[in-house]
Amino acid sequence: MHTTVAIVGGGPAGLLLSRLLHRAGVDSVVLERRDRAYVEGRQRAGVLEQSTVDALREAGAAERLDRQGLAHDGVELRWAGRSHRVDFPSLTGGRRVWVYAQTEVVKDLIALQTAAGAAPYFDAEVRAIEHIDTDRPTVRYLHQGQEKVLTCGYVVGCDGHHGVARTALPRGVRRTHERVHPYSWFGVMADVPPSCDELVYAHSPRGFALLSMRSPEVSRLYFQVPNGTDPADWSDERIWDELDARSALDGRTLTRGPITSRSVLPLRSSVTEPMRHGRLFLAGDAAHIVPPTGAKGLNLAVSDVVVLARALTHRQRTGDTALLDAYSDTCLRRVWRTEHFSSFMTTTLHTGPGQSEFDTRLQISQLDRIAASPHAAAELALNYVGLPLP
């Protein structure tokens, strides 16, 4: 089998890239090692930047998003018994974010591509990516019990940090910069209406907490825990008590309900560069990981594939490779800016192990400044709603 673009990984990045290319008349094949049910049920991000929503609309993949997504015009910060709402439209020239689960984005894209006759290949485990320094790379994969080979003009790795694509970059070329954070997030889904209309980011002596939602009926909640925490050690009552202790304001408590899922997510930051070598390109988590505090993982992946789809389309229509040649540098400028913002949100709101009172007072001072200074609030708002696409 031959295609113009072989896409390794059928998460939102790979699926959106395939969709954008399809609409531009560039053929592609998506190879995803998991089955469709797993991919459509994989819980991840839920906050979409303005530019991500714009990209989904351009791809013709925002019909359900526009009907069911929850538009948010701000977030609330809580610390030291105080609160402050950061109003996005007034600080960013009218920009906002949407809450719409990654699972729904994935379902929408799979349905559209399937209807268009370009469905992903599920249960297709990529074993090797070869000949990336030639004009005819190959992707070897296992599908339906058979070893198969896909030849192509370009390979795009959207298969995550531990996938085959990232390690296919030659060792002498690949450089990975990493930071492992000394805490994790305990995340729960609960069948209860959200207690707040917008996301709440809470700093407390007990650690960080985030109050979010997936729909008007389902809450998504997180709180900071030590690395290595076992979710089974926490009862529902203990979870709700901890969330209340970290986020309560003026005696108000959260509305409680049945917790339907729980998991622990270690926090880390990572950037692999360059994001391109030969005919192999990296996008999304294959190239970079950000801690979830800034809600940037999915959005940064979308930025990558929008830039890449534009470059691949330009190459097919004109024969010019300038945009493809600039892909890595173009994306990395936004990647490092986003890593900086995610790190700022993480270190400002979390309480590190053995943290001194001096460090805590610095965090409180920073939060006080955001509440008092329109310039500081605007800096947060502009980064949160998303930097302009390159």
181 counts as catalytic: no
Closest among 302, 322, 300 to 311, alpha carbons compared: 322
Token look-up 């825990």 returns: 225
Q: How far is CA 291 from the centre of its chain?
A: 9
Catalytic residue among 181, 296, 327, 350: 296
107 counts as catalytic: no
38 counts as catalytic: no
100 counts as catalytic: no
How far apart CA 348 and CA 215 sit, in angstroms, is 28
How far apart CA 280 and CA 164 sit, in angstroms, is 11
Catalytic residue among 121, 141, 201, 327: 201
- Sorted by sequence, the CB contacts under 8 Å of residue 155 that are 6+ apart come out as 5, 6, 7, 8, 129, 132, 137, 139, 165, 168, 279, 280, 281
Q: Convert the chain into a string of H (helix), E (strand) and C (coil).
A: CEEEEEEECCCHHHHHHHHHHHHCCCCEEEECCCCHHHHHHCCCCCEECHHHHHHHHHCCCCHHHHHHCEEECEEEEEECCEEEEEEHHHHHCCCCEEECCHHHHHHHHHHHHHHCCCCCECCEEEEEEECCCCCCCEEEEEECCEEEEEEEEEEEECCCCCCHHHHHCCCCCCEEEEEEEEEEEEEEEECCCCCCCCCEEEECCCCCEEEEEEECCEEEEEEEECCCCCHHHCCHHHHHHHHHHHHCECCECCCCCCEEEEEEEEEEEEEEECCEECCEEECHHHCEECCHHHCCHHHHHHHHHHHHHHHHHHHHHHCCCHHHHCHHHHHHHHHHHHHHHHHHHHHHHCCCCCCCHHHHHHHHHHHHHHHHCHHHHHHHHHHHHCCCCC
Catalytic residue among 12, 22, 72, 203: 72
183 counts as catalytic: no
Catalytic residue among 120, 137, 291, 292: 292
Q: Mind telling me the catalytic residues?
A: 72, 201, 292, 296, 384
